[in-house]
Amino acid sequence: MAGLANQIAAVTVNNLRSVPQRAGVSAVIVIGIAVTVAVLVSVLAMATGFGKTLANTGREDRAIVLRGGSQSELASTLSRENTLTIPDARGVRRSADGKPIASAEMVGIVSLKQKATGTKANVTLRGVGPKAFDLRPEIHLVAGRLFQPAVRELIVGKAALGQFEGVDLGRRVTIHDTEWTVVGVFDSGGGSHESELMADAETVLSAYRRNLFQSATVMLESRQAFDAFKDQLTTDPTLSVDVKRETEYYAEQSKQLSRLLFFVAYIVGGIMAVGAVFGALNTMYSAVSARALEIATLRAIGFGALPVVISVFVEALALALIGGALGAAAAWIFFNGSSVNTLGSNFTQVVFQLTVTPSLAMSGIVLACIVGILGGLFPAIRAARLPIAAALRAG
């Protein structure tokens, strides 16, 4: 056994040292794998970042109420009477003043110019109730002040501020022929509200000349209080509503896009991986033919096929690992933490950050190894079957 290990070591060492002489063709496998891994890791980083943003938005102990059958807030309407009934249901937490922590909200759409592209995109303007900030303690002002009720003032989420023009502190924004002033900037801990504008619900309703809300969100006494709350609302004959935990609601909102991103990651990554396998095959076949004389000489001396096969795989894996590491590093250097906005819930933009996690980098490296092994397989078989006499003659 020690003998075999020595044989493998000798053949592999000689081979790895000779790889620089095949640098050109070796680059095919390295670059092919690097590009594949970079694309896979970046798209997965997008899916991860998007999921993280929407997961940060929802809480298990908050519930959102929409009109029955509505898929999203935009498609929902709640009457003023409904928004008064809902907070009084069982299971809703109350603040020190004894009032339920709830916010009836109206969601409008504002079209703003994107800084990156100069094109217009939709941003959510969320009209919120007086208890909105007790309801969402994750929201903190980072500049300016809160809006006042009954005046046209709004605050802007940090992410929206980064992506869109004309919403800086103190600027005026025209919404439905009315002028609004940006008075504050807020942070919501990375959630999707950071991509929104917020203002007083009654003021927004009047600007839009509407009288219907779209959703009501309540803080529950605990996660367990959800069932009691839901039961009461869904059995109330005056209401026809759907009740969801916020986490469930945002997961549903993100499901389609997440699915699309994972689909893109695996399909595009898969197609590119197939291409990279062909590149790897090309590299390894030419490596084996460049080594034909060396392999035949070893076989003539009496070496078995195994050390030769292993040396082919080690070369393929070493090159694949270099490619995989380069690809993962490129994804991390160029994309980690960079912001992307995309259509999220309510057909408006959600801004989120690409997140290259160590486990994503690992999946990239694993893919690289699989490509390397597949690319080494057939060339290794050819190396093992090399006809000795013919190869010595050709050399």
Partner 1 sequence: MAAIISLRNVVKRYLRGKQSVEVLHGIDLDIETGDFVALMGPSGSGKTTLLNLIGGLDTPSSGEVSVAGVRIDALGGARLARWRARNVGFVFQFYNLLPQLSAQRNVELPLLLTSLSAAQRRRNVQAALAIVGLSDRAHHKPSELSGGQAQRVAIARALVSDPTLLVCDEPTGDLDRATADEILGLLQTLNREQGKTVVMVTHDPKAAEFATHQLYLDKGELVSRSTKAVA
Q: How many binding residues for ligand ADP (CB under 6 A)?
A: 2
Rounded to a whole number of angstroms, the minimum distance from the CB of residue 292 to partner 1 is 11
381 binds, options ligand ADP, partner 1, none, Cβ within 5 to 8 A by partner type: none
Query: Cα 370 vs. chain centroid, distance in angstroms?
Result: 24
17 binds, options partner 1, ligand ADP, none, Cβ within 5 to 8 A by partner type: partner 1
| Residues in contact with partner 1 by the rule CB under 8 A | 3, 6-7, 10, 13-15, 17-18, 293-294, 297-304, 388-389, 392-393, 395
Rounded to a whole number of angstroms, the minimum distance from the CB of residue 390 to ligand ADP is 5
CA-derived radius of gyration, the chain: 30
38/380 with CB nearer partner 1 = 380
Site string for ligand ADP, 332-371 (x = CB under 6 A): ----------------------------------------
Site string for ligand ADP, 288-307 (x = CB under 6 A): --------------------
* Spatial contact of 246 and 59, defined as CB atoms under 8 Å apart: yes
3-state helix, strand, coil in the chain (%, to 5): 55, 20, 20
Query: Per-residue b/e over 86-125, b at no fewer than 16 CB within 10 Å?
Result: bbebebbbeeeeeebbbbbbbbbebebeeeeeeeebebbb
Query: Per-residue b/e over 334-348, b at no fewer than 16 CB within 10 Å?
Result: ebbeeebbeebbbeb
Rounded to a whole number of angstroms, the minimum distance from the CB of residue 321 to ligand ADP is 38
366 binds, options partner 1, ligand ADP, none, Cβ within 5 to 8 A by partner type: none
**Angle at alpha carbon of residue 378, lines to 276 and 316, rounded to 5°:** 55
| C-beta contacts of 289-296 below 8 A and 24+ residues apart | 290/22, 291/15, 291/18, 291/383, 292/386, 292/391, 292/394, 292/395, 293/391, 293/392, 293/394, 293/395, 294/14, 295/383, 295/386, 295/391, 296/386, 296/388, 296/389, 296/391, 296/392, 296/395
99/393 with CB nearer ligand ADP = 393
Rounded to a whole number of angstroms, the minimum distance from the CB of residue 389 to ligand ADP is 7
**How far is the C-alpha of 155 from the C-alpha of 169, rounded, in Å?**
8
303 binds, options ligand ADP, partner 1, none, Cβ within 5 to 8 A by partner type: partner 1
116 binds, options partner 1, ligand ADP, none, Cβ within 5 to 8 A by partner type: none
Rounded to a whole number of angstroms, the minimum distance from the CB of residue 268 to ligand ADP is 46
Listed in sequence order, the DSSP H helices in 58-140 are 80-85, 132-135
* CB-closest chain residue to ligand ADP: 390
Rounded to a whole number of angstroms, the minimum distance from the CB of residue 25 to partner 1 is 17
Site string for ligand ADP, 364-393 (x = CB under 6 A): --------------------------x--x
10 binds, options ligand ADP, partner 1, none, Cβ within 5 to 8 A by partner type: partner 1
**How far is the C-alpha of 257 from the C-alpha of 134, rounded, in Å?**
30
> Minimal CA–CA distance to 349: which of 154, 116, 127, 137?
116
Rounded to a whole number of angstroms, the minimum distance from the CB of residue 288 to ligand ADP is 18
Rounded to a whole number of angstroms, the minimum distance from the CB of residue 299 to ligand ADP is 15
The residues binding ligand ADP (CB under 6 A) are 390, 393
